[in-house]
Amino acid sequence: MMKRYEFLKILSPKVSKSLVVVGGSNVGDWISLEPSDGTFACHGMVTPLPIAIGLALALPRRRIIALTTDGAVLMGLGALVTLAETRPSNLSVIVFDNELYEGVSKGEIPTHTAMGADIALMAKGAGLSNSVTVKTLKEFERRMSSVLRTKGTSLTNIKVDKGAMGVRGVYRDGTEIMYRFVRHIEELEKISIL
């Protein structure tokens, strides 16, 4: 298996004017590659998927990408049902599945995916047919080339090794992140939010 960072390096040039919601142990790696105000870094473990769903529904013409983890999805399974029910045509969900609650346990506590649970199959069971698990960089690149160009809701579960690359983006607190993100949306969409 590959490190999450290798997959993020493939994704980074493809995001263009998309809005990215990232959480968990993905934050440092993603911010180091994309320190854009178009990234909303969540501090709550379960929050990336629900926030991304809300954004996708509120901004239907803008591509939204959620970068979350197996631990976050498993702790907030209700969001999968909401995702399948609402099916925003502009939302791509990417789950980095390292089979660990890495962010809260330093990688010592396995998630249920280490015991056979399958997030892509759970999403399909909830009603989201465009859900797959990928394991290689080549599979991921093909998948992203497809889902980021087409309308529809997708979930891509990626099996990765534990551990971040140890890189850090510029630190910002939650309030600063929120204001920068909202101002970025206002500029992109030519709307007033705050």
Q: Which of 111, 115, 53 is nearest to 81 (CA)?
A: 53
- Domain positions in the chain are 4-189
| pLDDT tens column, 61-113 | 999 999 999 999 999 999 999 999 999 999 999 999 999 988 776 667 999 99
CATH number (3.10.129.10, 1.20.1250.20, 3.40.50.970, 3.40.47.10) of 4-189 reads 3.40.50.970
Q: Quick one: pLDDT at residue 102?
A: 81
Tokens describing residue 169: 């983006």
Tell me the CB-side half-sphere exposure of residue 154, using CA atoms within 13 A.
Answer: 23
Q: What is the pTM of this model?
A: 0.94
Count CB-CB contacts under 10 A for residue 170.
7
